[in-house]
């Protein structure tokens, strides 16, 4: 199933519904005041019941539920750092978008640059694909590479950055991302392949979508 969604829909999902807020308050205040058993806490946190053998204290359980609930109901998303006004593009510039900047400023989005997470500096050589897009690259298609203008193969850097982005997404239980179109990492619908901008996606987009995370692009 295609997990790509429009920017407008993603934004509408970011704002918590009133009933969700009430549910969050209920879940938070019960454990904070101590009216909870370890079994109930394990159920809420989705921790295997045999984990109780590690003797987690009631206080630790309450803290874990509080943290888990805050992340769940805050519904944070991931955004490309360059869209948030950070100078992380290959040429050291940004493509800041007011709505993305506002999401980050309000604590609703985490700005990330997969290429920096993959170990690349800024500025860096412009990267494009050869013989396929990011989806084909992560599948190991023969002959598909991510090559810089300097002739260096940066495929491993893009994959490493995408995996680190996924790790962060899982850490914060993130289900949605808004990424920079056209990028070899973040491209959602278009990327550069064999010196032409064609339909396809970047490496990070491919990995996030393969793991059930919705990915959208925003018009510049």
Give the model confidence (pLDDT) of 160-219 as tens digits. 999 999 999 999 999 999 999 999 999 999 999 999 999 999 999 999 999 999 999 986
Q: What tens digit of pLDDT does each residue of 81-111 get?
A: 999 999 999 999 999 999 999 999 999 999 9
The model scores a pTM over 0.85? no
**Contact (CB, 8 A) for 184 and 128:** yes
Q: Distance between CA 47 and CA 58 in Å, rounded?
A: 14
pLDDT score for 68: 53
pLDDT given at position 188: 96
What is each CA distance from 156 to 38, 147, 159, in whole angstroms? 43, 11, 5
**CA 103 vs CA 57, 70, 74, 108, 177: distances in Å:** 36, 17, 12, 5, 12
Percent of the chain at pLDDT above 90?
A: 64
pLDDT at position 89, please?
Answer: 97
Does 62 score more than 60 pLDDT? no
pLDDT of residue 119: 96
The answer for residues whose C-beta is within 8 angstroms of residue 8's C-beta and 6 or more apart is none
Instruction: Name the 3-class secondary structure at 159.
Output: helix
Question: Given pLDDT bands bounded at 50, 70 and 90, which one contains residue 60?
Answer: low
């Amino acid at each position: 199933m295609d997990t790509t969604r429009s920017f407008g829909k993603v934004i509408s999902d970011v704002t918590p519904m009133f009933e969700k807020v009430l549910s969050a308050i209920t879940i938070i205040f019960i454990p904070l005041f101590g009216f909870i058993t370890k079994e109930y806490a394990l159920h809420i946190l989705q921790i295997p019941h045999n984990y109780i053998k590690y003797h987690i204290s009631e206080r630790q359980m309450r803290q874990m539920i509080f943290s888990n609930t805050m992340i769940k109901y805050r519904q944070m998303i991931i955004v490309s750092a360059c869209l948030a006004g950070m100078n992380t593009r290959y040429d050291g510039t940004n493509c800041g978008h007011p709505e993305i900047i506002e999401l980050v400023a309000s604590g609703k989005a985490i700005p990330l640059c997969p290429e920096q997470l993959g170990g690349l500096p800024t500025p860096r050589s412009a990267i494009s694909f050869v013989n396929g897009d990011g989806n084909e690259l992560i599948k190991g298609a023969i002959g598909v590479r991510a090559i810089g203008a300097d002739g260096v193969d940066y495929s491993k850097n893009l994959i490493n950055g995408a995996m680190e982005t996924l790790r962060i997404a899982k850490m914060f239980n993130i289900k949605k991302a808004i990424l920079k179109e056209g990028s070899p990492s973040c491209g959602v619908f278009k990327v550069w392949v064999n010196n032409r901008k064609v339909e396809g996606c970047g490496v990070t987009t491919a990995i996030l979508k393969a793991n059930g995370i919705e990915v959208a692009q925003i018009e510049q």
